[in-house]
């Protein structure tokens, strides 16, 4: 099979995005939050956990510690007691307290609206930073590559075998999709990954982008 040109890949990606937008609209965050700080906390908690599980603990967490200053004054044990049902809760509690302390001390109590500054916060990697930039600030500076986006990018062959890390997949997607669409990709693909392009038993037969997928039918 001939290697697909970048121009052809962009054309196919645009057709995929049109289908995604028709089906999901701009997409919607699965995590419940009220402020950029709450979203940052929720995304940190979501690592290796389901969003539904995170949403069960955050109401109590945010009621107990409604601001960065309040969480900064907490002990990791206090936070851990609330989030103990989540995986890696002790390390996450430690990171959240340290994160809140940095937000309070270094950023005037406001989560920074910059993808590089966000990554200075304990527990915040590029995926989390991209999620916060897109969802809380509506200022996409990248595309958050989680397990859904990583899997779908390869199945759609927008990313090739050499794109074996989230950063490499993101680099490719940023070349394929125009900046104004970066805002939607993660939300739409997470929903798409749960509904159609599942890790196991994907629904290839009735997939909304099946005719645009070079690997259709290879995963069922």
Structure tokens, 64: 């107990």
Q: Under a CB-based contact definition with an 8 Å cutoff, are residues 139 and 145 in contact?
A: no
| Cα 120–chain centre separation | 18
Q: Under a CB-based contact definition with an 8 Å cutoff, are residues 178 and 18 in contact?
A: no
- Per the annotation, the verdict on 127 as an active-site residue is yes
Which residue out of 9, 127, 171, 175 is catalytically annotated?
127
Structure tokens, 55: 């949403």
* Dihedral angle sign, alpha carbons of residues 59, 63, 66, 72: negative
- Per the annotation, the verdict on 138 as an active-site residue is no
Q: What distance in Å separates the CA atoms of residue 100 and residue 47, rounded to the nearest whole number?
A: 18
SS3 string, 131-178, reads HHHHHCCCCCCCCCCCHHHHHHHHHCCCCCCCCCCHHHHHHHHHHHCC
Element counts in the chain: helices (H) and strands (E): 11, 0
Angle, helix 126-135 to helix 36-45, in steps of 10 degrees: 140
Q: What distance in Å separates the CA atoms of residue 64 and residue 80, rounded to the nearest whole number?
A: 12
Which residue out of 146, 168, 175, 206 is catalytically annotated?
146
Looking at the annotation, which residues are catalytic? 127, 146
């Amino acid at each position: 099979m001939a290697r697909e040109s970048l121009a052809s890949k962009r054309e196919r990606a645009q057709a995929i995005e049109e289908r995604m937008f028709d089906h999901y609209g701009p997409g919607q965050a699965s995590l419940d939050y009220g402020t950029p700080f709450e979203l940052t906390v929720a995304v940190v908690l979501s690592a290796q956990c389901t969003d539904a599980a995170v949403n069960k603990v955050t109401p109590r967490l945010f009621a107990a510690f409604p601001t960065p200053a309040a969480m900064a004054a907490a002990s990791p044990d206090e936070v851990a007691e609330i989030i103990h049902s989540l995986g890696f809760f002790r390390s996450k509690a430690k990171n959240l307290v340290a994160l809140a302390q940095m937000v309070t001390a270094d950023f005037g109590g406001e989560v920074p609206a910059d993808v590089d500054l966000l990554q200075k916060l304990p527990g915040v990697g590029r995926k989390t930073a991209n999620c916060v930039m897109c969802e809380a600030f509506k200022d996409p500076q990248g595309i958050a590559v989680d397990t859904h986006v990583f899997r779908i990018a390869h199945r759609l062959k927008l990313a090739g075998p050499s794109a074996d890390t989230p950063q490499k997949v993101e680099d490719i997607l940023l070349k394929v999709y125009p900046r104004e669409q970066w805002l939607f990709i993660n939300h739409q693909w997470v929903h798409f990954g749960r509904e159609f392009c599942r890790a196991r038993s994907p629904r290839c037969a009735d997939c909304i982008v099946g005719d645009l997928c070079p690997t259709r039918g290879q995963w069922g």
